[in-house]
Structure 1
């Protein structure tokens, strides 16, 4: 399989999307600028970064300056970002959070911070977003955000989904959440697809119910 190939949910090979190609351009420029000492290579990688910003702006119908500024902030060897999400069950229902920015629902979670263990990151996000104290029971899946129907996004993201056991606390809203509730998995509310998609929830619940192996891309 070539470097420009990926596999979809059915395991079929497909060409990288234009967004994924833009992500690769940005990553190549960032990594090149991190390691090169040659002034001509610095000029080339800086130009490549500018091309990546222009390319992404076209894909998102947005201002090139926005992407240029975001790309300049990124330094060091380019790697995917890490998003952690929690599956918390109560009497067969799944915990969901209504996000303030798009007014749609997601599993509680968010970005892992530098210095966090992944299990600590997801537990912190749950208590911050919902008020519930949880403990990680197991890792359910490692998902490549590019492959499963999420809306386009400038950054390449790995999503870590954990099964978490409720230990205590009480449900309470945060600045980032408009509502919190437990839902029947067969009657989920409208999902914040930039954060979670149905296949990720369905597969996670199937893994828990049938004690299957961890999913990974």
Structure 2
């Protein structure tokens, strides 16, 4: 596990507090769970100097109901042995097309939608490559516990063009990867994806 211990604790406290607030009815317990949630926000704010506590609370501790991991769907698209990537406007670096799962859409439908929105290409989902727990990989610290679903897709139409959240689109060989948006994908994950491209019979990866 590469996630810092303090972040693991903060997320566990937040999850306990949110689940407690979802189910408890005793006023004293409600106050205790609110305090636990506040402590989780304070812990996170100590390690993220660029964000104030109000912003952290909105991002990290404002949800209700039982806590479950967030789902990030990433599309894997190859053309002439090169991997499709998009340049993120948010940080100027490159990532696999994708984003948070959408209510009402299957993971495959999310992958297809994200590719079209971010790259202009029309694709068909064909193969599950893996389900990754973000905390087990060398991503930067994140307030959310996230599962990443990797879905291979084949191009069936469209033309490359930038999207609302992307400034460029390109296909890259394994030895010529661009600067990566490591919050979205890491070099080791992309190396694994190229291994899957070379071995169509390889079983899906999971953490």
- Would you call these one fold, judging by a TM-score over 0.5? yes
How far is the alpha carbon of 1:71 from its aligned partner? 3.8
How far is the alpha carbon of 1:185 from its aligned partner? 1.4
Match of 2:11 in 1: 23
Match of 1:4 in 2: none
Distance 1:26 1:80 in 2: 12
Match of 2:184 in 1: 195
Distance 1:71 1:145 in 2: 17
Checking the alignment, whether the CA contact within 8 Å between 1:49 and 1:71 is kept in structure 2 is no
How far is the alpha carbon of 1:16 from its aligned partner? 6.1
Displacement over 6 Å in runs of 4+: none
Match of 1:175 in 2: 164
What CA deviation, in whole Å up to 9, does each residue of 1:48-71 have, x standing for no partner?
A: 110011111112223122122334
How far is the alpha carbon of 1:189 from its aligned partner? 0.3
Match of 2:89 in 1: 100
TM-score, length-scaled by structure 1: 0.90
Distance 1:186 1:86 in 2: 20
What CA deviation, in whole Å up to 9, does each residue of 1:99-133 have, x standing for no partner?
A: 00100000111111112111101111110001111
User: Which residues of structure 1 form unaligned runs of 5+?
Assistant: 1-6, 9-14
Q: How many residues align?
A: 205
Aligned to 2:174, what secondary structure does the other structure show?
Answer: coil
Checking the alignment, whether the CA contact within 8 Å between 1:29 and 1:45 is kept in structure 2 is yes
How far is the alpha carbon of 1:87 from its aligned partner? 1.0
Q: Does 1:35 align with 2:6?
A: no
Aligned to 1:98, what secondary structure does the other structure show?
Answer: strand
TM-score, length-scaled by structure 2: 0.95
Q: Does 1:141 align with 2:146?
A: no
How far is the alpha carbon of 1:199 from its aligned partner? 1.4
How far is the alpha carbon of 1:72 from its aligned partner? 4.5
Match of 2:142 in 1: 153
Checking the alignment, whether the CA contact within 8 Å between 1:141 and 1:204 is kept in structure 2 is no
Checking the alignment, whether the CA contact within 8 Å between 1:104 and 1:192 is kept in structure 2 is yes
Match of 1:213 in 2: 203
Checking the alignment, whether the CA contact within 8 Å between 1:143 and 1:159 is kept in structure 2 is yes
User: Which residues of structure 2 form unaligned runs of 5+?
Assistant: none
How far is the alpha carbon of 1:198 from its aligned partner? 1.1
